[in-house]
Homo-oligomer: A and B are copies of this chain.
């Protein structure tokens, strides 16, 4: 029977293939087998099992020796993949040395192998995410610096508000990415821990050697021994989910920004062009924001998957049922979708095309009204704020009704002319003169981060 899922057709679009490889079936087995091999070494070192059996056990702890489909069928009966894997491993080892077979998986429970294997996968996953985030951070810093002085319309509620710079926009993205990097760094030590507790967390079958074996096992795997086994306490793995969920929210936000800027009528920024990328068959003028679409889809899917991980935390007693199972495909999916979105947005931002002319044109779309706040501020000095605001509001209304530029309407107003010359008004209607801290904030964002990173590495 063909149990094919839909990996090959849509996966290249949604998933990061490096992350997919980390969470492949084979690698899942690999993680559990690394646990089993390390367990044998650790137990031999502590003297719980004979050293002589270790090479035989190690020799069979290779994922390619196992038939994944056969294990899959057995998993459907056993309720988890570690049970048939251990059974099969034991049989393979016993063929090579009867005594060795006796010491496979000694004292451990299937969840020990599964959770520790998962932690090993998560270590690779976090390495990948953090490395990609570091690259993205560099790209965004570069954008922020390069576009530090590029004015465009700031938009709130999808309405033009006041001018901003593209550099400030990029600095906002950058600053969020830096916060995510800090979260990953802070989370790491809570995640990279061993799971080793035996049937119900007491390691009773190892008598008094349990802790020593645990220490040795952790050293083998480069992990840390936690206070107590955490079979039914899932906050560690759920935290990976929430931290990725936060990241994907930011990626979605950037994707939303870019797809909005890429609208036909706005046209200020574009995903990079490439042969076959985002092209419609029937409409040659269209260029679809494919990377942003992927990130936006992740930003819809991942929050719900995060809620699965949180809901699944309510695990019964010493080890749960059902809720634990709910994690097995969900956490890999979160990792893979997040990495896919990250990869797409990195490419998008790396090759982002900006149309500065269009930005300028759009800044003029309201006939100067985008600078209404600025004018009102200046007039406030003499007229007081209420009268200044009311004057400008009236002028805006008139300009809209008559389809004229706000500057021209204001020029007709005696109160305005009293205070402001024609060239004053020209200055006021130059968006570059109403950018406030935009430039300073870019410096601040980039500077403060470089300081932080520096102190981090000390």
Residue of A10, A74, A94, A376 with most partner-chain B CB within 10 A: A10
Which one, B69, B165, B436, contacts A205 given CB within 8 A? B436
**Cβ–Cβ contact A12 & B72, under 8 A:** yes
Contacts of A202 in B (CB 8 A): 154, 162-165, 168, 434-438, 441
A200 B233 Cβ-Cβ under 8 A: no
Nearest CB on B from A306, distance (A): 6
Shortest CB-to-CB span from A447 to chain B, Å, is 9
Does any Cβ of B come within 8 Å of A226's Cβ?
Answer: yes
Q: Is the CB of A441 within 8 A of B373?
A: no
Check: A20 CB closer than 8 A to any chain B CB: yes
The residue that A101 contacts in the complex, of B199, B253, B386, with Cβ under 8 A, is B386
Complex partner residue of A318 from B9, B15, B154, CB under 8 angstroms: B154
The complex is assembled from copies of this chain, and their number is 4
Q: Is A86 an interface residue (CB 8 A)?
A: yes
Contact, CB under 8 Å: A158 / B289: yes
A353, CB-defined interface residue at 8 Å: no
CA distance A9 to B63 in the complex (A): 12
State the interface size on chain A (CB cutoff 8 A).
Answer: 205
Task: For A103, list chain B residues within 8 Å (CB).
Answer: 385
Option from B200, B233, B320 in Cβ contact (under 8 Å) with A250: B233
A256 at the A/B interface (Cβ < 8 Å)? yes
Known contacts: A102-B384, A158-B263, A228-B444. The answer to whether A306 contacts B299 by CB under 8 A is no
In the bound complex, residues from chain B placing their C-beta under 8 Å from that of A323 are 296-297, 300
Does A409 lie at the interface of the complex (its beta carbon under 8 Å from any beta carbon of B)?
no
B199:A161 contact, CB within 8 angstroms: yes
Once A9-B25, A202-B168, A296-B325 are accepted as A-B contacts, the answer to whether A249 and B310 lie under 8 Å apart by CB is yes
Q: Do A172 and B102 touch across chains, with their CB atoms under 8 A apart?
A: no
Per the 8 Å Cβ criterion, residues 1-43 of A in contact with B are: 1-15, 17, 20-21, 23-26, 28-29
Q: State how many angstroms separate the Cβ of A403 from the closest Cβ of chain B.
A: 10
Q: Which of A54-62, A128-136, A239-247, A412-420 contacts B (4 or more CB under 8 A)?
A: A239-247
Cα of A292 to Cα of B6 in the assembled complex, Å: 26
Are B293 and A303 in contact (CB-based, < 8 A)? no
Distance (whole angstroms) from the CB of A228 to the closest CB of chain B: 5
Residue of B nearest to A110 (CB): B281
Docked-complex contact B315 and A292, CB < 8 angstroms: no
Closest chain B residue, CB of each to CB of A361: B265
Contacting residues of chain A (70-124) with chain B, CB-CB under 8 angstroms: 71-79, 81, 83-84, 86-87, 94, 98-99, 101-103, 105, 109-110
Known interface pairs A313-B252, A318-B164; A242-B306 also in contact (CB < 8 Å): yes
Scan residues 373-399 of chain A and give those whose CB is less than 8 A from a CB of chain B.
373-374, 376-377, 380, 384-386, 389, 392-393, 396-397
Q: Is the CB of B28 within 8 A of A9?
A: yes
Q: Is A262 an interface residue (CB 8 A)?
A: yes
Tell whether, in the assembled complex, residue B293 and residue A79 are in contact, meaning their CB atoms are under 8 Å apart: yes
Residue among A109, A234, A274 with max Cβ neighbours from chain B (10 Å): A109
Is A339 positioned at the interface, with any CB of B under 8 Å from its CB? no
User: Would A13 and B75 be within 8 Å (CB), given that A200-B162, A311-B304 are in contact?
Assistant: yes
Which 9 pairs show the lowest CB-CB distances between chains A and B? A296-B322, A249-B313, A154-B200, A204-B436, A285-B369, A202-B436, A303-B310, A242-B242, A156-B319
List 17 contacting pairs A-B, 8 Å CB cutoff, sorted by A. A3-B20, A5-B23, A12-B76, A13-B72, A77-B276, A78-B278, A79-B278, A154-B200, A156-B319, A158-B262, A158-B289, A161-B280, A161-B319, A164-B201, A234-B249, A242-B243, A265-B362
